[in-house]
């Protein structure tokens, strides 16, 4: 009975060890940035000449027509356009974009730089990254970038407000 118990325990330990060590490692991709869509999305031409759309992970830049949208896009353009970058792919989103951390220059994290300079929000709905939160808190404290605005509206709230305005417009149109 004790041999069976010991064998079962050993099997459980081995399975737990295998499970803990079998986390999927993020995929690394390199290529040249050939297009900037906005502050947090761009097109990458890979070495095998495939074009992929990359969305920066765990952050959200201002939407078009939102204050500091142009600043975020300009920052990203200056940092990575027409340059080679390393992309750490974390997953694919519902729009088939690759969600990733992006590194340029001498291993500079683009995601972090946008938040640090007040050009993006830490997207807390999808991230618990304490460094990103610290960078955002510091940018707020120092009133950098979008934090110069007294009532800066997050992109997700901006989108929700636009969606609600559109819904109300349709509702009022149907009443007439």
Positions annotated as catalytic residues are 55, 63, 97
DSSP state of 95: T
Count of Cβ atoms closer than 10 Å to residue 88 Cβ: 18
Phi-psi region of 107 (alpha: psi -120 to 50; beta: other; left: phi over 0): left
In the block, residue with structure tokens 């050993």: 10
Q: Which two tokens stand for residue 110?
A: 């683009």
Cα dihedral sign for 45, 51, 53, 57?
A: negative
In the block, residue with structure tokens 């969606």: 163
Cα dihedral sign for 48, 49, 51, 55?
A: positive
Burial of 154-164, coded b for 16+ CB within 10 Å and e otherwise, reads bbeebeeeeee
């Amino acid at each position: 009975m004790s041999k069976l118990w010991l064998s079962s325990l050993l099997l459980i330990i081995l399975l737990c060890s295998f499970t803990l060590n079998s986390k999927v490692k993020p995929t690394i991709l390199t290529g040249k940035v050939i297009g900037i869509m906005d502050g947090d999305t761009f097109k990458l031409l890979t070495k095998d000449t495939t074009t992929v759309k990359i969305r920066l992970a765990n952050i959200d830049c201002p939407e078009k027509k939102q204050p500091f949208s142009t600043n975020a896009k300009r920052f990203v353009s200056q940092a990575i356009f027409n340059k080679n970058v390393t992309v750490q792919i974390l997953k694919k989103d519902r729009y088939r974009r690759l969600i990733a951390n992006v590194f340029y220059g001498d291993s500079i994290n683009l995601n972090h730089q946008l938040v640090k300079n007040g050009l993006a929000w830490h997207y807390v709905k999808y991230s618990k990254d304490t460094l990103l939160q610290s960078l955002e808190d510091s940018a707020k404290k120092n009133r950098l970038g979008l934090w110069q605005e007294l009532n800066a509206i997050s992109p997700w709230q901006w989108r929700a407000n636009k969606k609600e305005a559109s819904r109300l417009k349709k509702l009022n149109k149907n009443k007439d």
